[in-house]
Structure 1
Amino acid sequence: MFKTTTITGAILALAATSALAQEAQKLERIEVTGSSIKRVSAETSLPMTTFTKEEIARTGATTVQDLVQLLPSSFGGGVVANNVGATGGASTANLRALGPKYTLVLLNGRRMSNFAFGNNPVDLNSIPLGAVERVEIVRDGASSTYGADAVAGVINFILKKDYKGAEVSWAEYKADKPGGGNVSNVNVVAGFGDLAADRYNIMLTASKESVTPLKAKDRSFANTAVRPDLGINKSSPRNGIPNLNFTDTLGNAYTNVNPLRYNGCNAPEFGLSTFGFPADPKQCGTDYVKFIDLIPEQWRANFSARGVVQLDNDNQLIVEGMHNRDRQQSYYSPAPYTDPTKVAPYPVTGRFYPKTITLPKGMTLPVGYTMPNGTKLTAATVLAADMAVTPTGPIRGNWRTVAGGGRSDITETQTDRLLMGAKGTLAGWDYDTAVTFSRNKGEIYFGPGKFSYEKLQPLLKSGDINIFGPQDAASQKLLDSALLTGERQQAAESKSTEFDFKVSREVMEMAAGPLAVAVGFNYRQEKLNQVSDPVLESGDEVGGGGAVPTVSSGRKVYGVFGEVNIPVIKDLEVNLAARYDNYKNDFGTSFNNFSPKASVRFQPTKDIVVRGSVAKGYRAPTLYENLRPLTTSGNTAANWSDPVRCPGGVPITNTINPVGDLLDECTVQLTTGTAGDPHLKPEKSKQFSLGIVFSPIKDMTMGVDYWNVQITDPIVQKSEIQVLSDAAKYTQQFYRFDPSKGDNDPGGFNKPIQGSTNKDFPLAYIYLPYENTAKTYASGLDFNAQYRTKMAGVGTVGFNFDGALMMTHGYQYTGIAKTSDLGKFKDFGAVPRWRHAITGTWSTGMFNASLTNNYTHSYEDYTDPTAVSAEYPLVRKVAAYYTWDATFGINPTKALSLTVGVKNLLDKDPPSSRNSLYFQTGYDPTYTNPIGRQFYGRINYRFF
């Protein structure tokens, strides 16, 4: 599927003749990703994977995100669906499974602004796939050329340029199963002017795409959080009909008794299910998965323009512009009432106050319990049949706004880019210079299902809202009056303004060839503004988890770099590159970094090329990581229990502040607190690679590369799995509050006590800050092979193979032994040992076809020992996932091409997984596609 171009001086894949045999020919010098020196691509020393326009079409990808996910060397980057209910839904790339922040994404060789919301790098959604001419992926560190972030590699999206004519393409993608995930896409390209004849060229592109939502309820492998086949039940105890804390008329006290547990929690309209595994005898849970999207509704449109003026034979003026709009609406679980300071008991005077509450069969009554006949139990007794009791006094329970429907966010983002530059040759020097302005901005609006504490709390206190069953017309109208629908919650803008200039040339002729050099510099200003509107800033959103303060600041970055390519002897060349960067932050801190790199290319025979490199790189802390104020607006991704007040999921007996009285504390998404640090250090990397490319037979190229990366002081948010799996070690991460104190008093909810283990104090939040930790490491092998030949009577047959073997992968926190996550799902997601893509192609005359196999190896599933039933094995494997994709095309005329295809030909469902990092449950969305078999058709017509 992918053509691997060995910019290491190897053979150009799929060429009719070996590129090694072309050395004697005079080839045009071109720009190559990863180098500052213009050169012939077969002369450089870095491994690179290239997607051509034709290869992109064969993948059936509709977005850049789809395309990047198919890369074997990309291990589970950010996917839109993963971000349901998070900050804006950015899509990101993740080379080497090191994390999206270590992969630098370029557009036409230059940086783009980061995604405006959260702490995300470039959003792949902002790049229009229909305007992409090719993609070059450098599978090596490149900080010596580009500076920060290029640790795992570089992905350079190169748009169409110097186009003459006009063409339009229309594609429709239809899922075989009902539910959604259908895509409609239109692209238009037009250009006029010939650089040679007219001395100018103007090109325009436009595209529009829409995606229909796919709900979890419409896929059997993801439609419930209750998975006895996996030994887990991830339903939440915060319900539309809550688990109740109350006292009956005989003086008996009850905690967490659900009034519908007696009938098996049978209330589909509330999404109720049994809770816990095995099922708790008195509680119910909310099967929140029934409300969420696997794929959110999306709409995007893009317009780009490029103008070139040919000043003379050697020099050009260039202007590029791009405008992209993206809108998505994502649904997730109804809002739980999570702020314990705002939880109000249901009053006796409420018009929905229950006359009786049914205790379910199987519930255990404690010693001293007063029976209806007045006798007191002398031993704990299990109810043999349901029993109704009469409540008295206020009733407490942590309610979820199911009657208002699932929560939703509407995110609208806009990406703008303007470049004005010049390139050419002056006095024998190749130069390239430009001023680039790039901006990503957006707004997030409250969609249906989001409520205001300020508006809703009085209704609950008065008892005018029914928390025991369905709303009537009057209470539903009151409930709807507390909605936030349509109000803006946050606006954000990320801006980058950059000036760059570089020159290169061959400065002298040596015995083995010309010595070439390049030097350059750049200056960049970065700005980030994340402005919370009043509801978000005050923490008034029900289930939002607290106040979200505004973040605003900027920085200036200065960089100088150089590169020299030295032909040491015949068939041996050395490339040396280095870059110095200086960061000056508006908030008073600064730092600098020096990034050197050396690479070698050796060609002992015409059919063998050996290459290697050693380098240092870095990643600068983002403005968000530096400046984010303390916020308690997050929740753990998985369900956990308070280790002090509900150890192992079993609530302690506490008469002062009963467990569950103010907030849910057992098997629930716990509140987290996060903050940045203006004194974070830049991350540093050391890496090396060694590879060989050879041509065993005519028309075939094969290659293998070993790579090794070690990152010191990586900046990460402390992992919930790490902290909660060993709470005794991480006591200082837990903040507790004394309910007897005022919210703003020392020890109160807003000023909680760090490290307290007092069993009377509920948990305010778990502190998971950004910090420099000790080390991240990874190593592996990349394999590639290409073959293409003409066969008499058959046509042209081709074969492409791309494989990635992960050999080591892990991390180490300060003061803790290394943790290997190779072949496992741990703190930061899954790291399969092996991924590959194999494509066979055929063409003859007007016909062409392809068949592709995409494969991800099995890995050890994520396991939380407190959440898995004892009779189930803790260790289980997530099965391998593979798909077959097929295309068939016909070009009846030079102007018209028709393509039909099938993605996931065998309709392979994602393998089951216990993972807890995403709202999606039952499978891992980072490596799989929930749509299933999908048919598509594409028409492309060129007018002139």
Structure 2
Amino acid sequence: MFKRRQVNLAALTVLGMSLPLSVLAQEAPPSHQLEKVEITGSSIRRVAAETALPVTTLTREEIARSGATTVQDLVALLPSSFGGGVVANNVGATGGAATANLRALGPKYTLVLLNGRRVANFAFGNNPVDLNAIPLAAVERVEVLRDGASSLYGADAVAGVINFILRRDFQGAEVAWSEYKGDHGNGGNSQLISGVAGFGDLTRDRFNVVVSASREEITPLKAADRAYAATAVRPDLGINKASPRNGISNITFTDTNGVKHTSVNPLRYGGCNDPGSALVIVSPTECGTDYAKFIDLIPDQWRANATTRGVLQLNEDNQLIAEVLYNRDRVQSVYSPAPYTKSLVYPTTGRFYPTSITLPDGTTVTPTGTITGTWRTVAGGGRSDITETKTTRGLFGAKGLVAGWDYDTAITYSKNEGEIFFGPGQYSYAKLTPLLAAGEINIFGPQDAESKAKLDSAQLTGRQQAATSTSTEVDFHVSRDVYNLPAGPLSVAFGANARREKLDQLSEPVLESGDVVGGSGPIPSVSSGRKVIGAMTEINVPIFQQLEANFSGRYDKYRNDFGTSFSNFSPKVSLRYQPMRDLVLRGSAARGFRAPTLYENLRPFTSGNNTAATWSDPLRCPGGVPITDTINPVNEFKDECNVQLDSATAGDRNLKPEKSRQFSLGLVFSPLRDLSTSVDYWNVEIRDPIVAKSELQVLSDPTRYKDYIYRYDPVNDPDMLNPIKGSTNKDLPIAYVFLPQENSAKNYASGLDLGAQWRFKTAAWGQFGVQLDGTLFLTHGYQYVGLSKTSDLGKFKDFGAVPRWRHQLTFNWRKAMWDFSLTNNFTAGYDDYTDPLASGDDDYPLVRKVASYTTWDTQASVSPTKSFTVSFGVKNLFDRDPPSSRNSLNFQVGYDPTYTNPIGRQLYGRLNYKFF
């Protein structure tokens, strides 16, 4: 669907398609008549057709044809971007940001620009730029650079750059309305209304102003509304993710005969039959909560924005430019009811104290003494967070030509600020614990009116956290042809910038103290900043008529407010060789870097997380078998065998920058006037990536890494207030496994980008087109210090799976007022997640394949007048469900949300009217 055009990119090699070289040779007017432009990836202004090193350019027409309503939808369609954060993936996580992920290396390695300049990072957590802050309705085109570009842009441009260019130099007005309806009810439906107006002619009036605005709403989609995601118990996949913490507790007690009963549920004998509590069988004695009954697959979303761009033409060569963007975003996600993780002891004086308890074998006994148990706030429904963010960005600059030098300079201020509020289903330990200790809450059955009212009184309301991320930057660069060589002009560019970054994450007292049931423990506030200065240069040298070389380099210096500093130099060289009119060979080699974020440096210690995989306590449950020679029985105080262990993490002020090395080789071949093909090999290696310490490293060698395992005394310190570092006492359960942020080993990836484009016209039937955009991954993985390489290519590992092949194939037909497209989106399957402790059997095979995912989208548009266009489309035409998966990284169960879309078939209509 997305065709590629040749653009000015002498500084790099990227992957994809270009216009046929024969077309450029035959149809281009003399070069002195062509406008010099600056394209993503180069600071030298040149004629766009002078180089065959392409970026992928998505025009406004192609964006409309894609059916995307948001920037995150559009980026998710790019074959080279896989596994980026989308709002749906962040159910139960902080903020709900959407991110891009070129080369599937991680969102932090993709630099996102707006009109060629940086945007402030998302204020919450450790996310880069939130794609939701960029209004798709205001985007004129998108330039996707799929090669490292730290030699020009500095940090973060390791996997590539995505540059969103907003509408400009527009005259008239345009309004549009879109409605998207799912074929299975109201979940995931959206509605978008937008408008743009422009006035002023730069030539005649010496100015132009463009204003745009849009508003969008997306309705939530519940897991219960999709059969493949409606339950956490999937025998067909060999998984049961139901939690043993329930609204009706699994309890431990002693009966009047002196017999102790451990972790039994009063409803187990009846098959855990209590639909209101979402109970399911998890063991011979226990029931569990099927938390999938409560969660969202897609959260409730609302956003609105406005943009303005004004240009004042000072004279024939110089302009003043001002830009303003304002965006508001609201996301409310619902996830599992809160687990009460503190010690729970029900008193004999509690008004719900049972007179008898039915054991799993049907025997009825009478309890005596206090009763302990595990519990969850099921009666209060799923937890929810409400995140409201605002993005503000202003720019004032000038560009033009002075003394033969092209210049571009600006001051840019960008801010992302937000607040996270407690939604329904959030509770305070300080309020809830006394009610449970007094027996005022029923842990043995449904709540009555009185106990429900007391439970409601323990709910949290109001704000839990506020955050602001700001970036203030002054930059300039100049370029010109400085010397005429026999093969063409030698061109140079110079540039420099100074940037001030600031991050403030303010936790309210309730969050800072950890007084949130089921939360991540105390979350202290974070506040700091840093200064960044950089300088770059670029030289383009025509060696002879067919061969051109480009050299670029950049120096960056970082100075953090908390005392640390570092610097980095990023070089790059690229070559372009055109031995014949229809063939271009290209190659590049570069080094890049990514700076630690302020959050990675200062991330406060937080517990209450879990390991990604299931493990057993190596001291108290070696090999999954509980020991018996301990005064504190295994599994009595918490689950210790074959479970996701509690974990904790923290930042590090002394983290080093991540370093990358990359190279690429490719060709563009246009054997026919209307046919263009391209093949590019690329290879990226990242050293010292910043990641949490490997749980595999710690728990596979617990003797060597015992200092990362913290234990606690369950009798004298049941709330784990004073965990003990590195203890080898078998009487002490694990409090948490400490997995701090660190520079660890390396990441690597390589692959091929393939593209083809064929367009042909007929006198009677109009214009036809076929376009292919595909990425074949050859290698992809990571390596921790002291461990062998781990490949996640076609295999689900610690960070998910990377498919070997993705493509988008589009067929297009246009004649007069009609336009029709049919698009095939394909993602290859992979080996599913396998529990590392699983032994393998018929119910849980060690090797399981996740099927490939194929969807077809179609759209038809008609423009009966020059002003009016009506479009109808269907996404996922054949209503393909996501393939089943044992995915272990997200709240969603039964499918992989990074790999598919849960909405199913979706119909949409769009009206567009232009005023001239």
| Cα separation, 1, equivalents of 2:663 and 2:586 | 11
Shift of 1:721: 5.7
In structure 2, which of residues 56, 74, 82 is the aligned counterpart of residue 75 of structure 1? 82
Report the AA paired with residue 409 of structure 2: T
Q: Does 1:718 align with 2:693?
A: yes
Distance in 2, matches of 1:769 and 1:16, equals: 52
Change (3 A) 1:211 1:117: same
Please say which of residues 162-171 and 33-42 is displaced more in the overlay: 33-42
CA distance in 1, matches of 2:861, 2:22: 26
Identify the residue that residue 772 of structure 1 maps to in structure 2. Answer: 743
Which of 568, 580, 589 is 2:555 aligned to? 580
Q: CA deviation at 1:634?
A: 2.5
Unmatched 5+ residue regions in structure 1?
A: 362-385
* Corresponding position of 1:924: 896
Structure 1 residues 149 and 135, CA gap change in structure 2 (3 angstroms): same
CA offset digits 1:375-425 (Å, max 9, x no partner) = xxxxxxxxxxx2111111111111100001100000000100000000000
1:791: Cα distance to partner? Answer: 1.5
CA drift of 1:222 comes to 0.8
1:379 equivalent in structure 2: none
CA deviation string 1:845-881 (max 9, x = no partner): 1001000000000111111143676333111111000
Fraction of identical pairs, as percent: 67
Structure 1 residue aligned with 2:274: 267
What is the aligned partner in structure 2 of residue 562 from structure 1? 537
Distance 1:806 1:678 in 2: 35
Note the alpha carbon deviations across 1:433-466, whole angstroms, 9 max, x for none.
Answer: 0000001010000100000000001100110110
Q: Distance in 1 between matches of 2:77 and 2:890?
A: 20
- Which residue in 1 is equivalent to 2:217? 210
Contact 2:20 2:582 in 1 (8 A): no
CA contact (8 A) 1:397 1:661 kept: no
Letter in 2 for 1:18: V
SS at match of 1:3: coil
Task: Name the residue aligned to 2:593.
Answer: 618
Correspondence for 1:523? 498
Residue 220 (str. 1) matches residue 227 (str. 2): yes
Q: Are residues 645 and 46 of structure 1, via their aligned partners in 2, closer, same or farther at CA, if it must alter by over 3 Å?
A: farther
SS at match of 2:813: strand
Hey, what does 1:706 align to over in structure 2?
A: 681
Distance 1:230 1:593 in 2: 48
- Answer with 181-190 or 24-33: which moved more: 24-33
1:291 aligns with 2:294: yes
For structure 2, list consecutive stretches of 5 or more residues without a partner in the other structure.
none
- The number of equivalent residue pairs is 908
DSSP 3-state at the match of 1:121: coil
- The question of whether the paired residues in 2 share the 8 Å contact of 1:646 and 1:666 is answered with yes
**How far does the alpha carbon of each residue in 1:811-855 deviate from its partner, in whole angstroms, 9 at most, with x for none?**
111111111111111011111110000001000010010000000
Per-residue deviation at 1:266?
Answer: 1.1
Which digits, 9 at most, give the CA deviation of each residue in 1:591-611, with x for residues without a partner? 000000000011000000000
- CA offset at residue 16 of structure 1? 11
Matched residue, 2:73 = 66
C-alpha separation in 2, matches of 1:865 and 1:390: 41
Per the alignment, residue 369 of structure 1 pairs with none
Which amino acid in 1 is paired with 2:513? S
Separation in structure 1 between the aligned mates of residue 870 and residue 731 of structure 2, nearest angstrom: 70
The residue correspondences of 1:198-347 to structure 2 (distance < 5 A) are: 198-275=205-282, 280-339=283-342, 343-347=343-347
Counterpart for residue 364 of structure 1 = none
**Counterpart code for 2:30:** Q
Give the Cα–Cα distance (whole angstroms) in 2 for the partners of residues 868 and 322 of structure 1: 55
Equivalent AA in structure 2 for residue 927 of structure 1: Y
Q: After the TM superposition, which of the residue ranges 222-231 and 728-737 deviates more from structure 2?
A: 728-737
Tell me if 1:935 matches 2:907: yes
- The answer on 1:419 being equivalent to 2:406 is no
Q: How much does 1:45 deviate? A: 5.8
Question: Distance in 1 between the 2:616 and 2:101 partners?
Answer: 32
Q: If the length of structure 1 is used for normalisation, what is the TM-score?
A: 0.94
1:666 is displaced (CA, Å) by: 4.5
Q: Note the alpha carbon deviations across 1:331-387, whole angstroms, 9 max, x for none.
A: 000000113xxx2300111111111111113xxxxxxxxxxxxxxxxxxxxxxxx21
Going from structure 1 to structure 2, the CA distance change for 1:916 and 1:902 (only over 3 Å counts) comes to same
How far apart are 1:668 and its partner, in Å?
A: 4.7
Distance 1:721 1:938, change over 3 A: farther
**2:410 alignment partner in structure 1:** 434
What is the correspondence of 1:683-698 to structure 2 with a 5 Å cutoff?
Answer: 683-698=658-673
Which amino acid in structure 2 is aligned with residue 882 of structure 1?
Answer: T
The farther-off stretch of 107-116 and 13-22 is 13-22
Judge conservation of contact 1:241–1:467 (CA < 8 Å) in 2. yes
Query: Which residue number in structure 2 is paired with residue 2 of structure 1?
Result: 2
Name whichever of 121-130 and 645-654 sits farther off: 645-654
8 A contact 1:69–1:927 mirrored in 2: no
Of 874, 887, 896, the residue aligned with 1:915 is 887
- Among candidates 721, 738, 745, match of residue 713 of structure 2: 738
Counterpart CA distance in 1 for 2:371 and 2:650 is 36
Displacement of 1:650 after TM fit? 5.1
**Matching residue's letter, 1:353:** Y
Q: Distance in 2 between matches of 1:630 and 1:433?
A: 41
Give the Å deviation of 1:754.
Answer: 2.2
CA contact (8 A) 1:193 1:201 kept: yes
8 Å contact from structure 1 (residues 338, 663) kept in 2:
no
Does the 8 Å CA contact 1:240/1:399 hold for their aligned counterparts? yes
After superposition, residues 454-603 of structure 1 pair within 5 angstroms as 454-485=430-461, 487-603=462-578
Structure 1 residues 867 and 183, CA, compared in 2 at 3 Å: closer, same or farther? farther
- Pick the aligned partner of 2:147 from 140, 143, 146: 140
CA deviation string 1:111-158 (max 9, x = no partner): 001000000000011110100111100110000000000000000001
Say whether the 8 Å CA contact 1:179–1:218 is kept in structure 2: no
The match for 2:651 among 676, 695, 704 is 676
Greater mean alpha carbon deviation, residues 651-660 or residues 552-561: 651-660
Give the alignment partner of residue 176 of structure 1, picking from 160, 179, 183. 183
Question: Which residue of the partner structure matches residue 662 of structure 1?
Answer: 637
Task: Give the AA of the match of 1:913.
Answer: S
Contact preservation (8 Å) 2:859, 2:872:
yes
Equivalent residue runs for 1:739-754 within 5 Å = 739-741=714-716, 749-754=720-725
Q: Which residue of 2 aligns with 1:895?
A: 867
List aligned pairs for 1:626-637, cutoff 5 A: 626-637=601-612
Question: Is residue 158 of structure 2 the alignment partner of residue 151 of structure 1?
Answer: yes
Residue of structure 2 equivalent to 1:860: 831
CA contact (8 A) 1:521 1:560 kept: yes
Instruction: Kindly provide the amino acid, as one letter, of the partner of residue 2 in structure 2.
Output: F
Provide the residue aligned with 1:383 in structure 2.
Answer: none
TM-score, scaled relative to structure 2: 0.97
Q: What secondary structure, in the 3-state scheme, does the structure 2 residue paired with 1:66 have?
A: helix
In the aligned structure 2, how far is the partner of 1:194 from the partner of 1:898? 29
CA shift in 2, pair 1:230/1:722, >3 Å: farther
Which is worse superposed, 833-842 or 230-239? 230-239
User: Among 14, 23, 26, which residue is 1:21 paired with?
Assistant: 26
* 1:262 counterpart SS class: coil
Whole-angstrom distance in 2 between the partners of 1:849 and 1:831: 32
Q: 1:686 to 1:12 in 2, by over 3 A?
A: closer
Counterpart of 1:830 in 2: which secondary structure? coil
Shift in CA distance, 720/852, structure 1 to aligned 2, threshold 3 Å: farther
Q: Is contact 1:233–1:867 with CA below 8 Å preserved after alignment? A: no
Give 3-state SS (helix, strand or coil) of 2:54's partner: strand
User: 1:758: how far off?
Assistant: 2.5
